[in-house]
Amino acid sequence: MREYIAKKLAIAVLVLIGVYTITFFLTFMLPGDPARVSLGQHGSEEAVELIRQQWSLDEPRYVQYVSYLQLFIQGEMGKSFRYYPRDVIELIRYRFPVTAYYGLWSIIFAVAVSIPLGVAAAYKQNSIIDNIAVLISQIGVSLPNFWLGMMLIAIVAVRLGWVNPVPEVQYGYYWTPIGFFASLKDYILPILTVGTGMLASNTRLTRSSMLEIIREDYITLARAKGLSERTVVLKHALRNALIPVVTNVGLQFLLLVGGAVLTETVFGINGIGKLYIDAINYRDYPVVIALTLIYTGGVVLINLIVDLLYAKIDPRVSLR
């Protein structure tokens, strides 16, 4: 297993270098002078010149490529163009907690609802609960997330006035033990918005997986042993049914980060997604590249975790 992890990490390094290369050349192909664009209309000629020099923007591409790479290898991410002289890492550290906060709750919400719902729906196929589950998953899958988000804002926040449309919470408060729960009210709309999409696909998958499993011979045999329905479903069926669900949840973590741009634009949250889209708009290349690399690292890490979980749940899977 340790070998397996080591191998995966080695591959990860190669992937990161590849992704770095692609992003590097793609970003620098965007039109416009980054120093100019990121400092905006009012940037003085001196400031622009300073950035040009700092980032060797006048050097050939390959020199930039190498000097940047060296920086990353040393574990640094350089300084932002736009917020010069602030460090990229500092910007990310500042924006990350809120994205992680509503993201984690979305997943908790989705998993906590979808698995019991999917199991119940499959177990009582064609019952009311099954119809509800099917309906929810169909609606959830077909509704665009941003539309759902805007509807929620329009109805729950604006019309009913139950919550603030734009979450206002003191930075970092949500990661304190009290704040983690107390901030739920402020972030309930983005959590519901993001969570519903996940919930939908996860319910559907749990249900279909469970439907397939409860027809298996080993379930009949488990029943023939005299085991209670509870044991048959929760011990014998569920663990098998969860195997594909684990992959799906892993995938959703990734979609979450991808979807953060949209979510945070709709809800005006100052998270990673907002940082990313702003960085692209303002040609803040160091931020764009750093975030892309972190995202890639996240993909690799999540895949690794999914693999390990997989092997834990299913003894037929051997990690090699």
Partner 1 sequence: MADKEILMEVKDLVTRFYTEDGVVMALEGVNFAVYKGETFALVGETGCGKSVTSLSILRLLPVSGKTLRGEVLFHDEESKRRLGIKKEGPFDILKLSSKQALRMRGFSMSLITQDPMTSLNPVYTVGDQILEVLQLHKKLSDKQAKKEALRLLEDVELTPAEDIFRKYPHQLSGGQRQRIVIVISLAAEPALIFADEPTTALDVTIQARVLELLRELKEEFNTSLVLITHNLGIVAEVSDRIGVMYAGRVVEIADKYTIFKRPLHPYTQGLIAAVPKITEKKDTLSFIAGTVPNLIRPPSGCRFHPRCPYATDICKEEIPSMEEAEPQHFVECWNVDEVIKDLEKEECE
- 47 binding partner 1? (CB under 8 A): no
Segment contacting partner 1 by CB under 8 A, of 49-57, 114-122, 194-202, 223-231? 223-231
* Number of residues counted as binding partner 1 (CB under 8 A): 21
Question: Binding partner 1 by CB under 8 A: which of 31, 46, 217, 320?
Answer: 217
Q: Which is nearer to partner 1, 284 or 307 (CB)?
A: 307
Segment contacting partner 1 by CB under 8 A, of 41-49, 112-120, 194-202, 215-223? 215-223
- 226 binding partner 1? (CB under 8 A): yes
- 224 binding partner 1? (CB under 8 A): yes
Question: Binding partner 1 by CB under 8 A: which of 150, 212, 314, 319?
Answer: 314
- 309 binding partner 1? (CB under 8 A): no
- Minimum gap (Å) between residue 1 Cβ and partner 1: 17
- Minimum gap (Å) between residue 112 Cβ and partner 1: 22
Asked if residues 158 and 165 have their Cβ atoms less than 8 Å apart, the reply is: yes
- Minimum gap (Å) between residue 68 Cβ and partner 1: 47
- 128 binding partner 1? (CB under 8 A): no
Q: Hey, what are 32's tokens?
A: 């416009």
Segment contacting partner 1 by CB under 8 A, of 75-83, 114-122, 183-191, 222-230? 222-230
Question: Binding partner 1 by CB under 8 A: which of 220, 258, 268, 305?
Answer: 220
Residues near partner 1 (CB under 8 A) are 125, 215-218, 220-228, 236, 239-240, 313-316
